[in-house]
Structure 1
Amino acid sequence: MISSDVVSLFTNVPLTFTIDYILDQLYTVCSTNCLQLSKSKQCVDCKRRIDFQTLPGIATSKTHFSFNNKIYVQHDGVAMGAPLAPIIADIFMAYLETTLMDELISLGVCEWHRYVDDTFVFINPNANVNGILSVLNGFHPSIKITYKVEKDNELEFLEVKFIRIPERHTFETTIYRKSTFTALITNWNSYVPIECKKSSITSMIDRALRICSTYQLLATEFNEIRKIAKLNDYPTSMVDTLIGIKFSKYRNKQQSNKSTTENFNDNRQIIYVEIPYVKTTTSELKKRTQHLGGKLRTDLNIKFFSKPPPNTNTYFQ
């Protein structure tokens, strides 16, 4: 197993190279090569190609930004956060894959799985890893690809750690956290709705149930969640309750026994109501409104959500 990553993909995507590839897929170049002629003498396809070429050029090139009181122009690559950035980057990576895949297979690549610029690859035991890297890095001078080879039958990819079990010819998976992980989540004493605090824990539990492949690894991850919760002042009893509820639902699903909630068809109309968060006052308002709605409008399912109050500076604008 190896994993690879493109160094700073978005800011290094070759724009002209990628846009030309897009144009080649959309428009065929005519045999007379009339792209070199004046526009009045060009065929319809060539005119459309040139017109379309202008659009992504305007949207992606000549990006301006300031740094240390100086204005800079980004000549190549796409800006982080730009709407077209992930699309352009993904098209470039797809072009790389389709162009090089046959050669990569001949060098020992068995399976290739990519998420944006991160790739998880299965290779033959006798595969030429350096040759694979050389082929990838030779695709375009703007792109540099690094890789990591499994060590002690383990390899991390995104948030998952893959563990090879040679004697059983299988793999196990568990949660992977980078060395820079700080274990900071929404503190229990924060002035936010309790639903937000609970979701900080349940999201980690759901991720563990989805990724951990054995009950032993799952139990280990639950202990990690308890440690993280304790560091952020969460009550241990509440964390254990949430783990128990989520795990019970997971077991029922595994045994194909749907819970009562899943079997109940709620045909009521859902209405979302925004209310300000004022701690106990908000909770009391929710209870009373739901109780009243249950009596007067049984056809409605009222769901509440809270937003933080406006920042102080908004009152001075």
Structure 2
Amino acid sequence: MLNNAIIAPALLPFQELEQAVWKKDLCAGCRGCITVCPANTLAYDQKLERPYQITPCIDCKACLEACPRIPLNMEKLPPDVLGPYIQMKSVRAKAGNSRYQNGGAVTALLKAALQEELVDRAVVMGVDRWDLNAYPCIIEDAEGLERAAGSKYTTNGILEAMRGIIKDESIRSVALVGTPCTVQAIGLLRKSSNEYAERLAHKVRFLIGLFCFESFDSSLIPEVARRLSVPSWRIAKMNAGEGKLTVTLRSGEVRALPLSSLTDFVRPGCFKCNDFTSRLADVSVGSVGSAHGSSALIVRTPEGAGLLEIAEENGLIEATGGVDVAAIEKVGKLKLKKNGL
């Protein structure tokens, strides 16, 4: 007797992502799937805030290995707010810069990595000082780090800078700074045996994760400028924390907007994020739990511990105790509750 049941064709990897993640507004916007793809199958739609297909898929499945929002991958993450760690420190850079956010700890760590030739490049987000649009930067020296210093809240597309680095044999290793979704993507690739995943992950020697409650789409900057009645180029820096977006103008004047009034500008995928402290990083850095002008630093791996030690030995960073662990856990749990997780 013939079986007349219709067998649905197997989905290609990008189609699996489309059905399970993109169409459900779960996409983190990390671009991990785009970056790891050897066939350049995907591009990113800035308006829809998700990838889309542009060339034929070769069915290598690397994109599935990278995506932090596939349910199976989300289950691989540590279950608690803090995640695994070796030690916690309150840290700040010994040298100052008006653009530094909470003590400039990330810049100090990156300087140590470049000065000691532990990596060939640092991969960070820079910003156009005229319209404040953020973009990925590949940094070679301390001067470049100083120019790129400061937090950016309107994109997490840092991984796209890795596409060229993967192919560049002269760049053996990098230090990369990212938000939790970016860190999750690299963390997943580090655990993967997929040959294309390994090719990307092996380039990242130091993975520095940022504490992140939520990020915003690019329309945030024009809206902030409108509400403050200033052109975007007059904004020197912004800092999100304690329920408000604090904006420092070039004149030194400090203004603030309640974060609750900016909910419409939060990226859709942020509402399903289950990670506040970048739990798969080598070191995680954020302002919560530290003294004013410093950052809380969570050392998670021997690589992270070594980088901190070298930065201290080189006189670039000052590390002490006194991290308020309960404060970090409180904000992390608040994020989970807000996102219904």
Q: TM-score range by the shorter chain?
A: under 0.3
After TM superposition, the score normalised by the length of structure 1 is 0.19
Relative contact order (C-alpha < 8 Å, sep 6+): which is higher? 2
After TM superposition, the score normalised by the length of structure 2 is 0.18
Structure label with greater radius of gyration? 1
Say which structure is richer in helix: 1
